[in-house]
Structure 1
């Protein structure tokens, strides 16, 4: 019977050091394969596989779409692409962003849980916000093992803290203890797959990540796992469904963009801020134009008209100051939310 030989690791800020500490001590004899998602800049090439290969005895690479899976290797999601796991092979696709990220940890974890069930070990490391939590829930639903880095030692504890809050985690450990545990788990027989059957939610969302459905199929399936809301997607302005009723609260749009509640709120706040700055710009242009018109009226000795334009400019100036105050207050609120996430 296979062991827990499908290891999926997710990290974000502070992840390079954490990944090095784990893969750097994995033996070449480990009977498992490692898949890694670290949040990366979409517009820059990644040298993460080279860095990991330099510190590890296992070869590391960015896989290509459809590449067969080989044990004893490390596969790293390339920039701006989701890394997804199928039986025996991998998909590398530019599906919809999840929690503002592509590659996304949740997408990798969910696909592995779908393909390999109880053989999967999910590991959430240092990082901001909560990508990885929903994916780790999928791993647990399919009988896999959930490991979280001890947030007390994580450089950025938000991801680990979120996973501990919403997932029944099997092991919460410092980095130094994770590699030995992974080796042990790879040798332990996994539970029978039929003990943890596939859920409709995991199946549908995995298909969404791979973009395997047409519009009608998507609408039918997302209606089956979610409830339509009155919100719109902050990415594409499409319709939004709330997925399930469990925590953390999360949403998907008709394109497939996915958000947990924290990220959804953050995106809404950013969009409001952008709209307010656009309003400030338009109003300041109107102030400048009104004062220009006032000067023109003065040149024609039309003092009454000049005064009206000047009064209009002053009124707009006051309104601009109010909007600027709202924006600055919003900045303070965002800092408070970020601080709360780290607690």
Structure 2
């Protein structure tokens, strides 16, 4: 156990291109960092993660896979478990199977929000390489509670979408290359926070944080209190989404979506439906022609032949549409 006093908590979020950014970030951390560092990287739910070992070898600070309930210690890096949120709560780690956010668990927004609620001025949020906009609302929460927000310089990120979205949303205090972030944290550690002001609780932020700390299908928290019905449905559970503001939504069981992530989920749904339709039309053509050949040149045979021609025309139109929308090597998830 370290004898140093925990001065604050640094929450780090990354997605695509995040492993490289995290390696450079870890390599630049000072040995005497008085913060605990929590890292959430988007990974598939069923994938084994070697990230803690990679981060541990990359820099001077020990990095381990987060364990629910362990005490947060300065100079230690805690890495999220696949398919679990990583949160900070009252000086301890929380590993939760709360509702996914933007289709992710761990979710960067959930981690950042927990630091905003629990650490206010002593919280730091760092957003690294990634696509879409997970982490932007979380950085906004940290900033609103008096914390410090940092983004990897877009030119330094393999996938600059997440840092760019945060910068465009005006929720970033400072930008820096991943390798220089450790020096920024060392500088922040010298600040005098003796006269920091304790802020009044943010009821909505507190409720969202409690939702993330809950169980996968928990109904203890009423998400309907967060806002009016949006008229949209949740891609995860098909439940009604409540509109928190023009950029974010949450369903009754707690799944959270930003507007950009919701649009991407709809694109995925449409693409999947089109591929199913194309397969069904192809099977209809084959079956109709088989039936036409079986009954021969009769009236019913002509009906089958006409059905085959109609389905083939629709199949060709749909195939051309998909070819325009999808790279020639096929959909990325196949």
Same-fold call, TM cutoff 0.5 = yes
1:231/1:64 Cα in 2 relative to 1: closer, same or farther (>3 Å)? same
Structural mapping, 1:200-215, within 5 Å: 200-211=203-214, 215=219
Greater shift in the superposed pair: 153-162 or 282-291: 282-291
Tell me, yes or no, if structure 1 residue 224 matches structure 2 residue 229.
Answer: no
CA distance in 1, matches of 2:78, 2:322: 43
Asked whether the equivalents of residues 40 and 106 of structure 2 are also in contact (C-alpha less than 8 Å), the reply is yes
CA distance in 2, matches of 1:257, 1:225: 12
Deviation sequence 1:320-340 (CA, Å, 0-9, x none): 2223333334437xxxxxxxx
> Which of 294, 298, 303 is matched with 2:298 structurally?
303
1:292/1:193 Cα in 2 relative to 1: closer, same or farther (>3 Å)? farther
User: How big is the shift at 1:194?
Assistant: 4.3
CA distance in 2, matches of 1:294, 1:13: 51
CA distance in 2, matches of 1:178, 1:16: 15
1:68/1:108 Cα in 2 relative to 1: closer, same or farther (>3 Å)? same
Deviation sequence 1:26-59 (CA, Å, 0-9, x none): 2222211111111123222211111111122211
Unaligned 5+ segments in structure 1 are 333-343
Structural mapping, 1:235-246, within 5 Å: 235-245=236-246
Task: Indicate the residue corresponding to 1:140 in structure 2.
Answer: 143
Deviation sequence 1:222-264 (CA, Å, 0-9, x none): 333222111111121111111124xxx1111122221111111
> Which of 244, 247, 250 is matched with 2:248 structurally?
250
Asked whether the equivalents of residues 100 and 107 of structure 2 are also in contact (C-alpha less than 8 Å), the reply is yes
User: How big is the shift at 1:115?
Assistant: 1.0
Give the secondary structure class of the aligned counterpart of 1:230.
strand
Give the secondary structure class of the aligned counterpart of 2:86.
strand
CA distance in 1, matches of 2:177, 2:55: 19
Give the secondary structure class of the aligned counterpart of 1:106.
helix
Give the secondary structure class of the aligned counterpart of 2:326.
helix
> Which of 162, 165, 168 is matched with 1:162 structurally?
165
Tell me, yes or no, if structure 1 residue 270 matches structure 2 residue 273.
Answer: no
Task: Indicate the residue corresponding to 2:186 in structure 1.
Answer: 183
1:96/1:178 Cα in 2 relative to 1: closer, same or farther (>3 Å)? same
Q: So what's the TM-score if we normalise by structure 1? A: 0.88
Structural mapping, 1:51-200, within 5 Å: 51-190=54-193, 194-200=197-203
Deviation sequence 1:121-161 (CA, Å, 0-9, x none): 11111111111101100101110001111112222111110
CA distance in 1, matches of 2:207, 2:147: 19
Deviation sequence 1:3-31 (CA, Å, 0-9, x none): 86211111112222222222223222221
Say what the alpha-carbon RMSD is for the aligned residues: 2.0
CA distance in 1, matches of 2:300, 2:236: 45
CA distance in 2, matches of 1:14, 1:190: 34
Tell me, yes or no, if structure 1 residue 324 matches structure 2 residue 329.
Answer: no
Task: Indicate the residue corresponding to 2:288 in structure 1.
Answer: 290
CA distance in 2, matches of 1:282, 1:55: 50
CA distance in 2, matches of 1:196, 1:169: 20
CA distance in 1, matches of 2:261, 2:238: 15
User: How big is the shift at 1:192?
Assistant: 5.5
1:311/1:241 Cα in 2 relative to 1: closer, same or farther (>3 Å)? same
Greater shift in the superposed pair: 52-61 or 322-331: 322-331
Q: So what's the TM-score if we normalise by structure 2? A: 0.90
